[in-house]
Amino acid sequence: MKVLLDTCVLYPTVMREVLLGVAVQGVYEPLWSERILEEWALAARKLGPMGEVQARGEIAQVRAAWPKAEIRFPPSLESRLWLPDPADLHVLAAAIAGYADVIVTENAKDFPRGILAEEGLSRVDADGFLRGLFEAQPGRVRDACEAVLAEARRLSGEDWTMRGLLKKARLPRLGKALEAAG
């Protein structure tokens, strides 16, 4: 399954780390475009002067880990498309050009289901996407989440619980499912 990851799920960090950790497990193939990665770098400026620098380092790592994930497309593809927010046309164009099955985004209103269906696509938020993957392949998703939890504890020095970390990362249903599964 090919999955286009929108900027809003690549930044923030924990959400991205869980999504990409599951991809490392071979559950799906992530896709993005150069513009999506650039939006991530620019969004990281909110963290302060080093935010963008750190993001560009992380982007270099992501590109190295998934060299085939970055989708290019001709401008003519974007010009034939319509979305409520024209600034998101590049996301839809990348999904089409990459033969994605789904777009993972937190911006549901900007990606109407009917328009996506015309292109053979659907959309889902990160929590719903990961929850569905957990139901299908619980061991792989749990392994990815455990690795992210361990790294969060190491970096922060805090004793995070899985559910607490995932809730803070806007993945509450996944956190609840992991907790219920024991």
In whole numbers, what is the pLDDT of the chain averaged over residues? 96
Q: Contact at 8 Å (CB) between 65 and 179?
A: no
Q: Is the pLDDT of residue 49 over 90?
A: no
pLDDT digits (tens, 9 = 90+) for 110-151: 999 999 999 999 999 999 999 999 999 999 999 999 999 999
User: Average pLDDT for residues 155-166, to the nearest whole number?
Assistant: 95
Q: Contact at 8 Å (CB) between 137 and 96?
A: no
DSSP string, 93-117: HHHHHTT-SEEE-S-GGGS-HHHHH
- What backbone torsions phi and psi does residue 143 show, to the nearest 5 degrees? -60, -45
Binned at pLDDT 50, 70 and 90, residue 48 comes out as confident
Q: Is the pLDDT of residue 106 over 90?
A: yes
Residue 122 to residue 143: CA distance in whole angstroms: 26
